[in-house]
Amino acid sequence: MLLSACSSSQPDAPRPPRIGMPNPAAVYCEQQGGTLMPMQTPQGVRSDCKLPNGEVIDEWTLWRRDHPDTKK
């Protein structure tokens, strides 16, 4: 007798849907191979992007640098 129903792991379980839009600067950082690093400041939390070449730059500064024609 084999009881396979006792397994508790479900590797293919669906994820809950995301609410809202993703942060385009964060998405762009990750698309460039970067890693987001949350930074606590007196004004609150912001994220820096650590790029594969070692450069660390604010995620929105990176976005604006690489998208100069994007209107605010």
Which pLDDT tens digits describe the chain residue by residue (72 residues)?
555 555 555 567 787 777 889 999 999 999 999 999 999 999 999 999 999 999 999 999 999 999 998 765
Q: Is the dihedral of CA 11, 14, 18, 22 positive or negative?
A: positive
Q: Is the pTM of this model over 0.85?
A: no
How far from 58 is each of 18, 27, 39, 41, CA to CA, in Å?
Answer: 24, 13, 10, 12
Six token digits for residue 37? 């690093």
